C-alpha cells in the first residue's frame, strides 16, 4: 500500500529528503506522495522513513492504493532497475 500525506502536514520538509524513491514532493499546499514511486521503503529499509521522521504523524497508508509486500518489492525492483 502506498502512503499518503494528510492535510495535517505542517510543511516541515523533513520527509522529502528521507524518501529513497523520491516519491515525496511539494504539492500546492502540502507535501504529496506519488503512489507509483512509493514502496513504503520496502527494499531499502525495514520501516517507512518518512513516517519515522514526521513530527505530526500525518503519513498513514493510502487505502486507495492497496499493495502486498510482494507487490511493493516488485515495484522497488522496477524502480531501481533490477527487474
Instruction: With a cut of 80, say whether residue 19 has pLDDT above it.
Output: yes
User: What's the pLDDT score for residue 83?
Assistant: 84
Domain definitions of the chain by residue range: 16-79
Mean pLDDT along residues 66-83: 95
Which distant-in-sequence residues (6+ apart) come within 8 Å of 22 by Cβ?
37
Q: Please write the tens of the pLDDT for every residue from 32-68.
A: 999 999 999 999 999 999 999 999 999 999 999 999 9
Architecture of domain 16-79: 2-Layer Sandwich (3.30)
The residues facing 24 across adjacent strands are 33
pTM tops 0.85? yes
Determine how β-strand 31-33 pairs with β-strand 24-26.
antiparallel
Instruction: With a cut of 80, say whether residue 1 has pLDDT above it.
Output: no
Place of cell 495535517: 8
Q: Among positive and negative, which fits the CA dihedral 31, 33, 34, 39?
A: positive
3-state secondary structure at position 66: coil
Amino acid at each position: 500500500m502506498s502512503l499518503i500525506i494528510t492535510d495535517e502536514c505542517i510543511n516541515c520538509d523533513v520527509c522529502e529528503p528521507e524518501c529513497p524513491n523520491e516519491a515525496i514532493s511539494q504539492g500546492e499546499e502540502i507535501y504529496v506522495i506519488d503512489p507509483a514511486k512509493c514502496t513504503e521503503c520496502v527494499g531499502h529499509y525495514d520501516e517507512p522513513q518518512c513516517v519515522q521522521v514526521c513530527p505530526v504523524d500525518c503519513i498513514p497508508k493510502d487505502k486507495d492504493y492497496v499493495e502486498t509486500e510482494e507487490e511493493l518489492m516488485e515495484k522497488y525492483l522496477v524502480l531501481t532497475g533490477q527487474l
